[in-house]
Amino acid sequence: MGRQLQFEIFRYNPQKKGDVPHMQTFTLDETPNMTLFIALNRLREEQDSSLMFDFCCRAGICGACAMVINGRPGLACQTKTKDQPSRITLHPLPIFKLVGDLAVDTGVWFREMYAKTESWVHTTKQFDPKRQEERMDNEVAEQIYELERCIECGCCVAACGTARLRDDFMGAAGLNRIARFVVDPRDERTDKQYFEIIGNDHGIFGCMGLLACEDVCPKKLPLQNQLGFLRRKMGITAIKEIFRKK
Amino acid sequence: MQTYYSDLLVIGAGLAGERVACEAAQSGFKTTCLSIVPARRSHSSAAQGGMQAALGNCAKGEGDCCDIHFIDTVKGSDWGCDQEVARLFADAAPIEMRRLAHWGVPWNRVVPGQSFYFKGGEKFEKYEKEEKEGLITARSFGGTAKWRTCYTSDGTGHAVMCTMDNRCAELGIDVFDKKEAISLIHDGKTCMGAVVRCLRTGQLEVFLAKATAICTGGFGRIYKATTNAVICDGGGHIIAHETGLVPIGNPESIQFHPTGIVPTDILVTEGCRGDGGTLLDVNEERFMHIYEPDKAELASRDVVSRWMTHHMRQGKGVKTPYGEHLWLDIRHLGDHHISTKLREVDEICHHFLGVDPRKELIPVRPTQHYTMAGIRTNKDGAAYGLEGLYSAGEAACWDMHGFNRLGGNSLAETVVAGGIIGSKIVEFLQGYETRFDTRTVNLAVKKQEERIHDLIHGRKGKLNVYQVRNELQEALMKGCFVFRNQEGLEECVETLQKTLEKSRKVGLVSDGIGANYELGAAMKLEGQVRLGLCIAQAALQRTESRGSHNREDYPERNDKDWLNRTLAYWPEGADMPELSYEDTTSVFELPPGDRGYGGGTIIPADEKYVKERTVKSPVTEIGKKK
């Protein structure tokens, strides 16, 4: 016989007139290998059809189901109930706009980030379908992929002290995005161009170094390393600029 | 009512949808994409293995060419594909992979020198040539003659999806997320766009366009056990099908993957077996080599799924509270390989099973995986029945997969077909003008408003949405899974007819306000049951075994009577689909023959029929034109 789980879930539907944010309690019998994906779907199908939350791949690959689980941002699909106390509190991610209950709008935030970072390979080369591909070192390819593994779940942003203080902070996800292009030899942008995007307080110099982003990243991305790498690179760029002006 | 206008409306912003959009936007057309989720969460991003293209750069891919890729694809389809389409695909795939490299995909590259690989649990050696250093490399996948699958570690879909979405951002394409198309706007001849429900507010909106492309992926979620993301629920198919004008091609053609983990049905990649993983039974003994001496674990997916089911029926399955399963063993691949090349698999095992694949076995069983079935289009991607409507990717029955899709061909199809069909849409849009009839638009919106009102107020009935959906899922698992027979299919059709009645009588429990999920589920329920009925009825009629469609009572592949494609229409107000048939392919570049795996006998097609359609210089078995 499994445990009886008690779920404390944040409820608020902004589209519903007169609705006020509140916590609601649900109980559910735990079953073997139960994840929050299984539990939340059961709650919606069996107890309250109006419950709002997002899941997509339910396999930890897409990042849709990030929420605050017992006070910590994480992916609900890969959270096994057996690793949690019998009382589980669920909140939506902060920073992002609330869609309803546990569902937030990460899409708009990340699209704005792509625009800010100009998240694409900047090259003057034209693609020629008749030619062999340009060569690349396999290690470089793997290095790029390491940084491209971000699933945009928003956990790092939700856990970030600076992001709570200032709306325009790019967050670890945004800075990691820039790092991805910095290591990519196909991108012809110069350090000075990157400096213009991130060499300020809403970029690389806004980070307070609290390290929460890396702590909560479900893909275990080396977010603080990247931040350090960029900060050093941008610091050097800044000094060079000062001397050039003289 | 918020109304948006563009030249091209793409419904679904996965790889196929965004690739189509890029092609149109590059040519200067205003392009809008809609997606239920932020584009990068699309199911395309979950594909781990890779994309097939005959680049021939790596040692084990030497001598590969488009002809061999074409032959593998046709054989894989069990001669169920359109050979003109398979040819278009095979020829364009290498160019498309290079284009992706140019756009930013970090493909793994050839590293010269000695390295090792596993096959069937044995270790082999290979040497990569110096002169190939840095070119796009490939790995081995089931059902292919050469190593042809281009990859980025084990996150190919994710990496390509990032690049494609970046490309959309660069081109300034409007990609709206949390928007769900709930019906097409059309006048019986021309498609004008779609009525869309905003999944942030619940509001209805209108998206008008000269051309509309449906790229919404597969509909695996109508099965209970599926590897598909929860968004792969057939939404795109349903809105096309319910026009009554657009048929679903080959609905009986549904693929099952051998290695869904138990109990959550999350897929572990075919790369596990490609890299040398083995399947074990309850006694922890290998069995695939008994049934398939040559290819063993690397036989085609449908073949492996079938032998696994067969082996479990022989009492060799592992019994658990979740039903029977078998084991996947990757322990011998070692820590380094598992932590780099199979990292996603490693994570899945840890997060969802609490299993360490270096030391423990992974519980697996066959699970619904891919829908070769889809919105029937011609080779240009234009849907049958409505002008201005297109479809690409898994949503479409374009039809390069026929009755069985090869691993690595689906992810490749998304971008290759997206490019080809995108350019055909550009041709269509050039010089094309249209008129939008406001009356038609208003009627389409009103119809949806009424449906929503009826569901919220339980005007047609108060049956529970989830219970009815469950009935559909269970019926398909029972009657339309890996093995099929007359009795089971008849029962399935009968059950689903009752389910169809019920689906018309559901009502919401909740208030349906805002981004309400129950309302979304209720709105597509009847359409889902219709899709289920198409599968069951088409499978019942097709009295042969071809590819993934396996009839225990008709084990032969019958080219004499069934070298054709099912078209399932659903006329307005009907209770059953109307089936008709068309020739599988108008030309044979590769005349029907043995597909080279899986055994079984073939009832040959009429010689004269094949001869008349065979092109002058068919490809031969070794892949060189005569």
What integer pLDDT is reported at residue B121 of this predicted model?
A: 62
What is the band of B306 on the pLDDT scale with cuts at 50, 70, 90?
confident
pLDDT above 90 covers a percentage of chain B that reads: 80
Question: What share of chain B in percent tops pLDDT 70?
Answer: 98
Q: Which residues of A touch B320 (CB under 8 A)?
A: none
Q: Band the pLDDT of A89: cuts 50, 70, 90.
A: very high
Phi, psi (5° rounding) for residue B463? -65, 150
How far off is chain A from B136, nearest CA to CA, in Å? 8
């029907």: which residue's tokens?
B592
Look at residue B619 and tell me whether its pLDDT is greater than 80. Answer: no
Q: Report the distance separating Cα B178 and Cα B33, nearest Å.
A: 11
At residue A246 the predicted structure's pLDDT band, cuts being 50, 70 and 90, is: low
Mean local confidence (pLDDT), B180-190: 97
Torsion B523-B529-B531-B532 (CA) sign: positive
Is A190 a residue whose pLDDT tops 50? yes
CB within 8 Å of B534: residues ≥ 6 apart: B248, B251, B373, B568, B570, B577
A175 falls in which pLDDT band (50, 70, 90)?
A: very high
Which residue from B264, B150, B347 is spatially nearest to A61, judged by alpha carbons? B347
Residues A216-242 have a mean pLDDT of 87
Q: Quick: pLDDT tens for B520-553.
A: 999 999 999 999 999 999 999 999 999 999 999 9
| Residue B253: HSE in the Cβ half-sphere, 13 Å Cα cutoff | 32
Q: Does B456 touch chain A (CB under 8 A)?
A: no
On average, the pLDDT of chain B sits at: 93
pLDDT band, residue B625 (cuts 50/70/90): very low
DSSP B31-64: EEEE-SS-GGGSGGGG--S-EE-----SGGGTT-
Question: Which of residues 243 through 282 in chain B touch A, CB cutoff 8 A?
Answer: 263-264, 266-267
CA–CA separation, B328 and B357 (whole Å)? 9
Q: Token pair 């690793």 is at which residue?
A: A83
Does B622 have pLDDT greater than 60?
no
Is-contact B416 A129, C-beta < 8 A?
no
Task: Output the pLDDT for position A226.
Answer: 85
Q: At what angle do helices A106-117 and A191-198 cross, to 10 degrees?
A: 140
Would you say the ipTM is above 0.90?
yes
Q: What number is the average pLDDT over the span B462-474? A: 96
pLDDT at position B4, please?
97
What 3-state DSSP class applies to B124?
strand
pLDDT tens column, B32-57: 999 999 999 999 999 888 999 999 99
Whether residue A167 lies within 8 A of chain B, CB to CB, comes out as: no
Under the banding of pLDDT at 50, 70 and 90, the label for residue A237 is confident
Q: Cα separation of B383 and A7, whole Å?
A: 47
Q: Is the pLDDT of residue B463 over 80?
A: yes
Taking CA–CA distances from A220, the nearest residue in chain B reads: B347
pLDDT value, residue B620: 66
**Which pLDDT band, with edges at 50, 70 and 90, does A5 fall under?**
very high
Answer yes or no: do B514 and A13 touch at CB < 8 A. yes
Q: Does B611 touch chain A (CB under 8 A)?
A: no
Q: Looking at the predicted structure, is the pLDDT value of residue B626 above 50?
A: no
Give yes or no for A125 touching B (CB within 8 A).
yes
Contacts of A115 in chain B (CB under 8 A): 169
CB B506 within 8 A of CB B252: no
- Specify the pLDDT at position B251: 98
